[in-house]
Structure formats: structure tokens, C-alpha cells
Amino acid sequence: MVSFIHPAFHLFFLVSFVVKFGRGYLELVNPAWICLTGAMRILSGIQPSGALHLGNFFGMMKPAIELQDQGEALYFIANYHSMTSLFEADQRRRNTWDVALDLLACGFDPKKSILFRQSDVPEVCELAWILTTLTPMGLLERGTSYKDKIARGIAPNHGIFAYPVLMAADILIYDSNIVPVGRDQKQHVEMTRDIAIKFNEAYGDTFIVPEPKIKEETATVPGLDGQKMSKSYGNTIEIFGEEKALRKKIMGLVMDSRTPQEPKPDAEKNLAIQLLKLLADPATAKDYEDRLRAGGLGYGDLKKALFENYWNYFATARAKRADLAANSEHVEQVLKEGAAKARTLAKKVLTRARWACGLD
Ligand code: ADP
Ligand code: TRP
């Protein structure tokens, strides 16, 4: 048959077809193809180990929400990980649900990204075992999060020690390119890179080597005591909670003993100012900082302004969360659909890994 189409167009159509529909097939074969054919994959997780706070929000959630428009995003509730530190089943179930509501209320959008519970994709545990066989003990022994827990007197279980391997499996099983996290998780993503490289060297190119994505301005949000805000330090300001209790927490921020009239040349270091910069519009935050620096602004008034800005910042999310809480079937549906999509992706990569290392 005579073709009236120029040969160059055949090639163009073939490439377009592969770009549009081919990722599914090519993913099975080799990750190198994905760079040519796929959208950027973004992945992050958050543990259901307690109420989410401003550190979680500005360090991980807000950057992750912004990234939803820049690629194919997968976000999950890391309930397997929470098993290393939380030992009450009902509490885990409740926390998992609360995190789902928090994420959806804050702007994680199931139309733009895949939201799911980690344990709805059990394939990740098989990959974690495969990876653990290539993970040097020394690498895990150098883990700062592990060392920190030991230093705080927590009796280490094997899950705490192997935590970064499960995290590597989470990341690698979805061919993730970038992982938005706060600074404290940087080392875990670096360990993932080391493990992926080791596997690729041992068994041939199988995994994409991911990059951490850390927003410098909000990499470490300070807590009520000025240390990194963290559930485990008891210094958090929750995203959602009871107004009176939260007002009390913020009004209780400890300041120094300088009088209101004294100029404060170090105003930028003030904890309330640092938090206000996250929560207020830039002009308002600058105005308070300038007034504190010049002298004349009392700490009580500053903390009041911090509370008001904080409370307003999450007003829309708070209303949305109340609606979601009254519509649990919708939330369950979102998680189920997310899990089905995530599982399809995970199975492909696991098939590739099983083949590469000779299990199949
Ligand atoms: P926590 O320390 O309260 O247990 P997680 O370990 O569950 O918090 O952290 C979930 C996500 O939030 C991670 O990406 C982590 O880096 C980020 N994050 C937690 N606390 C902070 C903080 N104070 N500043 C910036 N990011 C944070
Ligand atoms: N370790 C992360 C935390 O405590 C949660 C997590 C589990 C995660 N698996 C992940 C984050 C994969 C990013 C990618 O915050």
C-alpha cells in the first residue's frame, strides 16, 4: 500500500503514542524510559502519630500541595511507620482518619493527586525486605533519627532501626523523582538514594534515584520552646484544635524580660515574629517586626496578633474539615480510589524489582 504520509510523521506518531500510553508498559521494563516518557512523580508521606502541627504544615504539607500542579503526585498516610512508636490500635485508626481529614481540608486534592493509606499497598513491605538485604548496617546505625530516639531513652525495636528501609521502599516503589519533606527527613531520602544505587549496581538499572525537595524558608519551623516543632517534643501548635486551648498555648509563649519600650535590635529572632512571618501577609509581619525592633510593642500584643493571624489563616480549612468530618463516606471513597491507583503503580515496579533480583 502506498502511504501518503511522510516517514518522519510515522516516527512522530509513534513517539506521541508512546509518550501518551506507553509509560505503563515501559515502566515494567526499565526506569530509564520513564525519564523520556513520564511526568515528574512527586511523593511524600506523613505519620498518623498525633495531631498535625504548623511544622508539618509549612515544612511538608504546603510545599506538597503546591507541587500537585507540577507532576503526578502521590501522598500517603504512613500508618506502617507509625507502628514503630504507637502501640494502640484504636488510636492509630483514629489518627489515620484525622490525618486524612487534615490533608483534605488543607488542600490535598484527590482530583490532582493520589491520596492513600500506606497499608493499602502491602507490596511496599515486600520491597522493603528486598531492599533490606542490600542495606548496610552502618548506614542505618548512622541514622540521626534512630540515634536521637535512643538518646531520648526510647527502647529501640527493629522497626525503629529499619524505618529508613521501609521509607526507601515507599519512595522507590512509585518511581518517585522528588520527595517534598522538612529538613529532618533529608537524611532518610539520602539513604533511599544510597539503597537505590546499591540495588541498581547489584542487579542492573531498576530504580529511579530520587531527590529530596526542601523549602529553605520553612525547612525547620520552631515550636513553642524555640526548638524544632515536633509531636515528640510536646511543643506543637496544632493546625486544628480547640480555640481556647490554642489561644492559651500561643499566649503562653515564653519571651525575654525586656520592657515593651526597649528597642529590640534582634526582633527577627523573636519566636512570635518568626511564626507571624509564616501566618500573616508580609506587610503585616514586617510592620510588627519593625515596631518590635523600634520599641513600644509589648509581647502580649504581639502574641495576640500572632493568635489572630493563626486562627484566620486556617479558617477556610477549618470549615472544610467540619464538612468532611460529616461526610465520612466521601473520605473513605477518596482513600480507596487512591489506594487502587497507587497499588497499580506499585505492582509494576515490584514486578520489575522481583525480576531484576531473580525472584521471578
Ligand atoms: P513530628 O516530628 O512532629 O513527628 P513527622 O516526623 O510526622 O513530624 O513529620 C512529617 C513531615 O513534616 C516531615 O516531612 C517532616 O520533615 C515535616 N516536619 C515535621 N516537623 C517539622 C518542622 N518543625 N519544621 C519543618 N518540617 C517539619
Ligand atoms: N518518615 C516520614 C516522617 O516521619 C514519613 C514518611 C514515611 C515519608 N515514608 C515516607 C516521607 C516517604 C516521605 C517519603 O515524616
Confidence band for 29, pLDDT divided at 50, 70 and 90: low
**Distances from the Cα of 13 to the Cα of 9, 26, 179, 242, angstroms:** 6, 17, 33, 58
Report whether residue 232 contacts ligand 1, using a CB cutoff of 6 Å. Answer: yes
Domains and CATH numbers, the chain: 37-222+328-356 (3.40.50.620), 241-313 (1.10.240.10)
Torsion sign (Cα): 105, 108, 112, 116:
negative
Between 20 and 31, the more confident residue is 31
pLDDT at 9 over 70: no
Tell which atom from ligand 2 comes closest to the C-alpha of 182.
Answer: 15
**Are 332 and 338 spatial neighbours (Cβ–Cβ below 8 Å)?**
no
Cα gap 260→264, rounded to integer Å: 9
244 is catalytic: no
Instruction: Please tell me which residue in 149, 213, 264, 348 is annotated as part of the active site.
Output: 149
Q: What is the pLDDT of residue 131?
A: 98
Residues 181-239 have pLDDT tens digits of: 999 999 999 999 999 999 999 999 999 999 999 999 999 999 999 999 998 889 999 99
Query: E strand or H helix at 338, and its extent?
Result: helix 328-356
Residues 305-341 have pLDDT tens digits of: 999 999 999 999 999 999 999 999 999 999 999 999 9
**Nearest Cα to Cα of residue 45 among 212, 170, 189:** 170
**End-to-end CA, the chain:** 43
Residue % of the chain over a pLDDT of 90: 86
**Are 14 and 48 spatial neighbours (Cβ–Cβ below 8 Å)?**
no
Residues 64-93 have pLDDT tens digits of: 999 999 999 999 999 999 999 999 999 999
Q: What is the pLDDT of residue 187?
A: 97
What residue owns the CA closest to ligand 1's atom 18? 56
pLDDT at 110 over 60: yes
231 is catalytic: yes
Cα gap 192→169, rounded to integer Å: 8
Q: How many CA atoms lie within 13 A of 19 on its CB side?
A: 8
Cα gap 353→165, rounded to integer Å: 15
pTM comes to 0.90
Q: How many CB atoms lie within 10 A of CB 93?
A: 12
pLDDT at 127 over 50: yes
**Mutation choice for ligand 2 from 41, 46, 103, CB with most ligand atoms inside 8 A:** 46
Confidence band for 30, pLDDT divided at 50, 70 and 90: low
